[in-house]
Every structure is written in structure tokens, then in C-alpha cells.
Amino acid sequence: MELDEQLKKTLFRVAKFYDQRKVGDVGPLGFRRSTDMMTMLACLERLLDEKIIMPNETMFLDLGCADGRVNVFLSYLVRMSVGIELDEWTFDEYGPLKLQLEEVLKQEELLLPPENIFILHGDATDERIHQAIKRETGVRFEDFDLFYTYLVMHEEFAELIEKKAKRGSVFIVYGLDKIMPTYKGFRFLKHISPMEGILAIYRKD
């Protein structure tokens, strides 16, 4: 699928903005390393072609979203972009960073993120946060099509998705390279993984 020029430029700028503000690559914050957004950008056309992202249809959930960068980036493509973050101080970074980004986008006459982003504070495995998502957005856990995590807690999240998500939903794990884990109840999409050498993609049976 060919993306519109203005959207392409915007996505490039959003990726650049967040990549200039990476967290945890060095120092003690390794647990909250950030997705490399230029790599995510490089995966995008393939994810669209494979219909893993369906423009304005896909319901996206980042399990452990930190400052919400993947949510903001994908908000331009999906119908709803929801993130859950456990750490309060990390969760608090979402709003100010997004405001800074919007300033840059305005100055450069690029597209602002649509109003389909919801970032919630809590434990992604906790039923209460799923209820909170339902209250805030009207969306149930089983309505999400696409789940994402950056390696952290990937086994627990796979169990959760296996138990609660709908059949056919997709789980993307960022940060895998040579050894691909298997998760009960999922099919590994070998023909497209690891995408850009880093995204492992699974479909729920």
C-alpha cells in the first residue's frame, strides 16, 4: 500500500523526533528501552501489505507503552491506539513529549496525531485496567486486533492474549533476532519474521 506523501513526511518526522529522545540504551533504565522508530517506519509498508495493520480499522494495544511513542506513531494508521504503562513517572512523560512533538509538526506544517490515542496507567495483566479501557474508550480487550510489546514480560503477555484476545489477533514482539520463542496458542509468522531483523510476529490460533 502506497502512503500519501504528507503522511510519509509526517511519519518520518515523528520517528526522528522520538529517536532523538531514546531512553535506556545506556545507563540503568534498560528495562524501558525504546523501540527504534526508524526501524518501525521501515516495517510499515510490509505490515500494511500483510494486512497486519488495516488503515482506520485496526485496534492497537501496546502492553508496556512507556512514553507512548509507538502509540503516537501508529495513531496515524490505526482506528484506535491504546497503551498501558505500569510506571507512573514513565507514563507522565507521554503528555509533555506529545506536546513538544505537536509544536514541531505545526512549525513544519505536518499532520498532527489524530485524537484516537489513549494512554492508561496500570498493570497490563490486570483485569481492572482492561475494565478502565472499556470505560474510557468503549473497547473490550477482545476487540483489539494488534498487540505489541518490547520484549518485557512477553511470555506473560502472550498468556494473557492467548486467554483473552480474539482468534486471528496478532502479537508483535520487538527485540527478537535469532532465537524466536514459541507461545502456546500462537502461530509464528515465519515468512515475515523477524521483520527488519527485530520484529517477531505471531497470530493467535
Q: Residue numbers of the site for ligand SAM (CB under 6 A)?
A: 31-35, 62, 64-66, 69-70, 84-87, 90, 123-125, 150, 152-153, 174
Query: In the complex with ligand SAM, which residue's Cβ is closer, 41 or 65?
Result: 65
In the three-class reduction of DSSP (H, G, I as helix; E, B as strand; rest coil), residue 96 is classed as helix
As measured in angstroms, the least distance from the Cβ of 84 to ligand SAM is 5
Longest dimension (CA), the chain: 48
Triad 74, 68, 106: Cα angle to 5°:
70
C-alpha span between 162 and 60 (Å, rounded): 16
Nearest residue to ligand SAM, scored by beta-carbon proximity: 64
State in angstroms the smallest separation of the CB of 45 from ligand SAM.
20
- Grid cell in block for residue 55: 488503515
Number of H helices, E strands in the chain: 7, 7
Which is nearer to ligand SAM, 88 or 115 (by Cβ)? 88
Which is nearest to 182 in space by CA: 164, 202, 198, 167?
202
Least distance between ligand SAM and beta carbon 175 (Å): 8
Q: Closest approach of Cβ 126 to ligand SAM, in Å?
A: 8
Pairing of the two strands 186-188 and 199-204:
antiparallel
Residue placing its CB nearer to ligand SAM in the complex, 71 or 167: 71
Minimum distance from residue 46 beta carbon to ligand SAM (Å)? 18
Q: Which residue lies nearer to ligand SAM by CB, 10 or 71?
A: 71
Contact 77, 53 (CB under 8 A): yes
Q: Can you tell me which residue has the cell 523477524?
A: 194
For ligand SAM, the closer of residues 8 and 32 by Cβ is 32
